Amino acid sequence: ILQENHKITATQDILDFVVGETAEDTNVRIEKLVSVIKADRKAVEAERALGRTPKMFRTDHEKPSPFEAKLNKYKR
């Protein structure tokens, strides 16, 4: 269920955590685990998306290539 529906690899530790006394109990535990993992993945993705794109890729001050010179005309 975890791997097929939610793309979570079910290790033995995860199985020990989610398997309950009944099938209903196990399903409730799986849904809780999935919601925690999805929230964590969303938070990581949001944090990664906050980075800045560098405006200048070159660190040296040599003359740009002909392509870069033409491209620089269209940059703001």
The pLDDT tens digits for 22-67 are 999 999 998 999 899 999 999 999 888 887 776 666 566 677 788 8
Residue 54 pLDDT: 65
Predicted pLDDT at 4? 66
SS3 58: coil
**Token pair listed for 59:** 């660190």
Residues in the chain: 76
- Cα 11 to Cα 5, 18, 22, 24, 65: the distances in Å are 15, 11, 20, 20, 52
Tell me the residue range of the domain where 53 lies.
2-72
Structural domain count of the chain: 1
